[in-house]
Amino acid sequence: MIKTAVITGAAGGIGHALCQRFRDDGHHVVGIDRREASSADEWLSIDLTDLPSLLDGLTTIGKRHAVTSVVHNAAIQPLAGAGDTEPQDFLEAMKVNVLAADCLTSALGDELRAHHGSIVVVSSVHAMATTQGIAAYATSKAALEGWVRAAALDLSPSIRVNAVRPGAINTPKLREGFARWGENAANERLGVLRSRTPLGRVGTPEEVAAAVSFLAGPQASFITGATIVVDGGASVRLGSE
Protein backbone atom coordinates (compact mmCIF):
# COMPACT_ATOMS: atom_id res chain seq x y z
CA MET A 1 0.00 0.00 0.00
CA ILE A 2 1.27 3.45 -0.91
CA LYS A 3 0.61 5.81 1.99
CA THR A 4 -0.90 9.16 0.99
CA ALA A 5 -0.63 12.42 2.90
CA VAL A 6 -3.01 15.29 2.16
CA ILE A 7 -1.49 18.67 3.00
CA THR A 8 -3.25 22.04 2.80
CA GLY A 9 -1.37 25.29 2.34
CA ALA A 10 1.13 23.23 0.39
CA ALA A 11 2.66 26.08 -1.62
CA GLY A 12 3.90 28.24 1.27
CA GLY A 13 7.18 28.08 3.16
CA ILE A 14 6.03 25.61 5.81
CA GLY A 15 3.83 23.82 3.27
CA HIS A 16 6.78 23.27 0.95
CA ALA A 17 8.81 21.80 3.81
CA LEU A 18 5.89 19.59 4.83
CA CYS A 19 5.54 18.18 1.33
CA GLN A 20 9.25 17.47 1.12
CA ARG A 21 9.33 15.82 4.55
CA PHE A 22 6.34 13.56 3.93
CA ARG A 23 7.74 12.54 0.55
CA ASP A 24 11.02 11.71 2.27
CA ASP A 25 8.99 9.67 4.78
CA GLY A 26 7.64 7.57 1.90
CA HIS A 27 4.25 9.19 1.34
CA HIS A 28 2.53 10.09 -1.89
CA VAL A 29 1.72 13.76 -1.23
CA VAL A 30 -1.43 15.51 -2.42
CA GLY A 31 -1.02 19.26 -1.95
CA ILE A 32 -3.98 21.61 -1.70
CA ASP A 33 -3.42 25.30 -2.38
CA ARG A 34 -4.65 28.04 -4.67
CA ARG A 35 -1.06 28.40 -5.90
CA GLU A 36 0.88 25.56 -7.51
CA ALA A 37 2.42 23.25 -4.92
CA SER A 38 5.56 22.22 -6.80
CA SER A 39 6.91 20.01 -4.02
CA ALA A 40 3.80 17.78 -3.92
CA ASP A 41 3.26 14.72 -6.10
CA GLU A 42 -0.21 16.02 -6.96
CA TRP A 43 -1.64 19.50 -6.66
CA LEU A 44 -5.29 20.44 -6.27
CA SER A 45 -6.15 24.11 -6.75
CA ILE A 46 -8.93 24.66 -4.22
CA ASP A 47 -10.06 27.81 -2.45
CA LEU A 48 -10.66 26.68 1.13
CA THR A 49 -13.32 29.35 1.60
CA ASP A 50 -15.37 27.44 -1.01
CA LEU A 51 -16.37 24.54 1.22
CA PRO A 52 -18.52 22.63 -1.33
CA SER A 53 -15.60 22.60 -3.79
CA LEU A 54 -13.27 21.48 -1.00
CA LEU A 55 -15.55 18.57 -0.08
CA ASP A 56 -15.88 17.52 -3.72
CA GLY A 57 -12.11 17.55 -4.20
CA LEU A 58 -11.48 15.63 -0.99
CA THR A 59 -14.05 12.98 -1.89
CA THR A 60 -12.18 12.39 -5.14
CA ILE A 61 -8.90 12.02 -3.24
CA GLY A 62 -10.44 9.51 -0.84
CA LYS A 63 -11.62 7.33 -3.71
CA ARG A 64 -8.22 7.26 -5.41
CA HIS A 65 -5.73 7.05 -2.56
CA ALA A 66 -5.08 5.27 0.73
CA VAL A 67 -5.02 8.38 2.90
CA THR A 68 -3.08 7.80 6.11
CA SER A 69 -2.18 11.37 7.10
CA VAL A 70 -3.93 14.73 6.86
CA VAL A 71 -2.06 17.94 7.63
CA HIS A 72 -4.05 21.17 7.82
CA ASN A 73 -1.49 23.91 7.39
CA ALA A 74 -3.40 26.53 5.38
CA ALA A 75 -4.23 29.81 7.11
CA ILE A 76 -5.13 33.40 6.35
CA GLN A 77 -4.46 36.41 8.56
CA PRO A 78 -6.68 39.48 8.17
CA LEU A 79 -4.82 42.55 9.39
CA ALA A 80 -7.39 44.17 11.66
CA GLY A 81 -8.13 44.29 15.35
CA ALA A 82 -11.13 43.34 17.46
CA GLY A 83 -14.15 45.37 16.43
CA ASP A 84 -12.38 46.59 13.28
CA THR A 85 -12.32 43.35 11.27
CA GLU A 86 -14.83 43.18 8.45
CA PRO A 87 -17.34 40.40 9.20
CA GLN A 88 -16.63 38.72 5.86
CA ASP A 89 -12.89 38.71 6.59
CA PHE A 90 -13.51 37.24 10.04
CA LEU A 91 -15.73 34.50 8.59
CA GLU A 92 -13.20 33.65 5.89
CA ALA A 93 -10.45 33.29 8.51
CA MET A 94 -12.64 30.90 10.48
CA LYS A 95 -13.49 28.93 7.33
CA VAL A 96 -9.90 28.49 6.20
CA ASN A 97 -8.19 28.21 9.56
CA VAL A 98 -10.74 26.09 11.46
CA LEU A 99 -13.72 24.79 9.51
CA ALA A 100 -11.56 23.39 6.71
CA ALA A 101 -10.01 21.01 9.26
CA ASP A 102 -13.44 19.61 10.04
CA CYS A 103 -14.24 19.30 6.33
CA LEU A 104 -11.02 17.36 5.81
CA THR A 105 -12.07 15.03 8.61
CA SER A 106 -15.60 14.61 7.27
CA ALA A 107 -14.49 13.79 3.73
CA LEU A 108 -11.46 11.63 4.55
CA GLY A 109 -12.53 10.13 7.87
CA ASP A 110 -13.41 6.70 6.48
CA GLU A 111 -10.01 6.38 4.81
CA LEU A 112 -8.21 7.53 7.94
CA ARG A 113 -10.15 5.08 10.13
CA ALA A 114 -9.41 2.21 7.77
CA HIS A 115 -5.68 2.86 8.07
CA HIS A 116 -5.61 4.09 11.71
CA GLY A 117 -4.43 7.40 10.37
CA SER A 118 -3.48 10.74 11.84
CA ILE A 119 -4.55 14.36 11.56
CA VAL A 120 -2.10 17.12 12.44
CA VAL A 121 -2.97 20.82 12.31
CA VAL A 122 -0.51 23.69 12.25
CA SER A 123 -1.59 26.20 14.87
CA SER A 124 0.35 29.27 16.08
CA VAL A 125 1.66 30.82 19.26
CA HIS A 126 -1.08 33.39 18.65
CA ALA A 127 -3.52 30.77 19.94
CA MET A 128 -2.23 31.56 23.44
CA ALA A 129 -0.62 35.03 23.38
CA THR A 130 -0.95 37.46 20.51
CA THR A 131 -0.29 40.98 19.29
CA GLN A 132 -2.53 43.86 18.33
CA GLY A 133 -4.25 43.93 14.97
CA ILE A 134 -4.83 40.25 14.13
CA ALA A 135 -7.97 39.45 16.11
CA ALA A 136 -9.52 37.03 13.60
CA TYR A 137 -6.28 35.07 13.20
CA ALA A 138 -5.67 34.75 16.95
CA THR A 139 -9.29 33.75 17.53
CA SER A 140 -9.18 31.14 14.79
CA LYS A 141 -5.98 29.53 16.04
CA ALA A 142 -7.36 29.29 19.58
CA ALA A 143 -10.49 27.70 18.13
CA LEU A 144 -8.39 25.30 16.07
CA GLU A 145 -6.65 23.98 19.16
CA GLY A 146 -10.04 23.55 20.83
CA TRP A 147 -11.14 21.58 17.79
CA VAL A 148 -8.07 19.34 18.12
CA ARG A 149 -9.00 18.38 21.67
CA ALA A 150 -12.62 17.69 20.71
CA ALA A 151 -11.67 15.74 17.59
CA ALA A 152 -9.15 13.64 19.51
CA LEU A 153 -12.02 12.40 21.67
CA ASP A 154 -14.59 12.06 18.92
CA LEU A 155 -12.32 10.20 16.50
CA SER A 156 -10.59 7.87 18.97
CA PRO A 157 -9.43 5.16 18.96
CA SER A 158 -9.03 4.89 15.18
CA ILE A 159 -7.69 8.36 14.34
CA ARG A 160 -5.17 10.43 16.28
CA VAL A 161 -5.47 14.23 16.20
CA ASN A 162 -2.72 16.62 17.30
CA ALA A 163 -1.35 20.11 16.73
CA VAL A 164 1.98 21.82 16.25
CA ARG A 165 2.19 25.39 17.54
CA PRO A 166 5.02 27.27 15.77
CA GLY A 167 6.48 30.55 16.87
CA ALA A 168 8.45 32.83 14.54
CA ILE A 169 9.45 30.78 11.50
CA ASN A 170 11.68 32.09 8.71
CA THR A 171 9.23 31.93 5.82
CA PRO A 172 8.54 34.24 2.86
CA LYS A 173 5.31 35.29 4.60
CA LEU A 174 7.21 36.42 7.71
CA ARG A 175 9.75 38.36 5.64
CA GLU A 176 7.03 39.95 3.50
CA GLY A 177 5.19 41.04 6.61
CA PHE A 178 8.29 42.75 8.01
CA ALA A 179 9.13 44.31 4.63
CA ARG A 180 6.11 46.58 4.98
CA TRP A 181 8.17 48.68 7.39
CA GLY A 182 11.25 48.88 5.13
CA GLU A 183 14.52 46.95 5.16
CA ASN A 184 15.96 48.55 8.30
CA ALA A 185 12.76 48.05 10.28
CA ALA A 186 12.48 44.46 9.07
CA ASN A 187 16.01 43.66 10.24
CA GLU A 188 15.29 45.36 13.55
CA ARG A 189 12.15 43.29 14.09
CA LEU A 190 14.01 40.08 13.28
CA GLY A 191 16.62 41.11 15.81
CA VAL A 192 13.93 41.62 18.44
CA LEU A 193 12.50 38.17 17.71
CA ARG A 194 15.92 36.59 18.12
CA SER A 195 16.60 38.42 21.37
CA ARG A 196 13.27 37.31 22.85
CA THR A 197 13.81 33.67 21.90
CA PRO A 198 15.88 31.64 24.39
CA LEU A 199 17.48 29.66 21.54
CA GLY A 200 18.55 32.96 19.96
CA ARG A 201 17.08 32.60 16.47
CA VAL A 202 13.89 32.14 14.49
CA GLY A 203 12.87 28.66 13.44
CA THR A 204 12.95 27.00 10.05
CA PRO A 205 10.07 25.45 8.09
CA GLU A 206 11.94 22.14 8.21
CA GLU A 207 11.82 22.16 12.02
CA VAL A 208 8.05 22.57 11.94
CA ALA A 209 7.78 19.79 9.36
CA ALA A 210 9.86 17.49 11.57
CA ALA A 211 7.44 17.97 14.48
CA VAL A 212 4.44 17.33 12.23
CA SER A 213 6.11 14.22 10.80
CA PHE A 214 6.71 12.90 14.31
CA LEU A 215 3.08 13.38 15.35
CA ALA A 216 1.82 11.76 12.16
CA GLY A 217 4.16 8.79 12.43
CA PRO A 218 4.25 5.54 14.42
CA GLN A 219 6.59 6.95 17.08
CA ALA A 220 3.65 9.05 18.30
CA SER A 221 1.17 6.16 18.38
CA PHE A 222 0.13 6.92 21.99
CA ILE A 223 -0.22 10.68 21.50
CA THR A 224 -3.55 12.33 20.70
CA GLY A 225 -5.15 15.63 21.66
CA ALA A 226 -1.70 17.14 22.22
CA THR A 227 0.04 20.29 21.05
CA ILE A 228 3.79 20.46 20.47
CA VAL A 229 5.24 23.96 20.73
CA VAL A 230 7.99 24.77 18.21
CA ASP A 231 9.04 28.30 19.17
CA GLY A 232 12.61 28.12 20.47
CA GLY A 233 11.32 28.63 24.01
CA ALA A 234 9.81 32.05 23.30
CA SER A 235 6.51 31.26 25.01
CA VAL A 236 8.15 30.36 28.34
CA ARG A 237 9.69 33.82 28.75
CA LEU A 238 7.74 36.19 31.01
CA GLY A 239 6.85 39.45 29.28
CA SER A 240 9.83 41.40 27.90
CA GLU A 241 12.26 39.91 30.43
Active site members: 137
**Residue 143 CB: number of other CB atoms within 10 A?**
18
Strand partners, 71: 7, 120
Residue 71 contacts by C-beta under 8 Å, 6 or more apart in sequence? 5, 6, 7, 8, 18, 22, 119, 120, 121, 122, 212, 216
Radius of gyration of the chain (CA): 17
The span from the CA of 85 to the CA of 78, in Å, is 8
The span from the CA of 139 to the CA of 123, in Å, is 11
How many Å is the maximal CA-CA distance in the chain? 53
In a 3-state reduction of DSSP, which class is residue 101?
Answer: helix
The span from the CA of 11 to the CA of 19, in Å, is 9
Q: Which is nearest to 116 in space by CA: 59, 62, 148, 157? A: 157
